[in-house]
Amino acid sequence: MSLMKMIRVLALLLAGWGVMNAAHAQVVRVEDAWARATVPGQASSGAFMKLTAAHGARLEAVNSPAAGAAEIHEMVLQDNVMRMRPLVALELPPGRTVELKPGGLHVMLLELKAPLVAGSTLPLELQVRDAAGALSRVAVQVPVRALGAPASSGMKHGH
């Protein structure tokens, strides 16, 4: 094989690898991410975002160096009591945006190592399994926002 032919083959292989990596990196689109600021001594908080997977995927885990644990949670009304419970994974249907928001699906940050300060950023890593079964780690820098206490809905709350 001539040197020029080998260079062309190598260039095509590298181009293909770049396209595959770009597609792999786009397993899930993360938009409007934010986390709730805390006060000193507060050991937990929530992170919220919109997730869209063009071909479908599963959010299987969340990690952050700022927390001892991070879990995918949902809020459900059960016997007129709002309850929060962890999920093993969160399905991301093809092309549909799944919104994680206060009072619904969210990332629960537990055992915070320091207060989350408004104006700072929180590093999160989302572990997402695509429709083909490949696992991706998606790094997200989440802005921390100060928010007042949520309005009371009149419902009892339980964990």
Q: What is the pLDDT of residues 130-140, one digit of tens each?
A: 999 999 999 99
Please state whether beta strands 81-87 and 156-158 pair in parallel, antiparallel, or not at all (unpaired).
parallel
**pLDDT-based confidence at residue 80 (cuts at 50, 70, 90):** confident
Q: Is the pLDDT of residue 82 over 90?
A: no
**pLDDT-based confidence at residue 22 (cuts at 50, 70, 90):** very low
Token duo for residue 107: 């990332």
pTM of full prediction above 0.85: no
80 close to 155: Cβ distance less than 8 angstroms:
yes
Give strand ranges (E) for the chain.
29-36, 45-52, 57-63, 67-78, 81-87, 90-92, 97-100, 106-112, 121-130, 135-145, 156-158
**pLDDT-based confidence at residue 114 (cuts at 50, 70, 90):** very high
122 close to 83: Cβ distance less than 8 angstroms:
no
Task: Name the CA radius of gyration of the chain, rounded.
Answer: 20
Torsion on CA atoms 48, 137, 142, 121, rounded to nearest 10: 150
Q: Is the pLDDT of residue 37 over 50?
A: yes
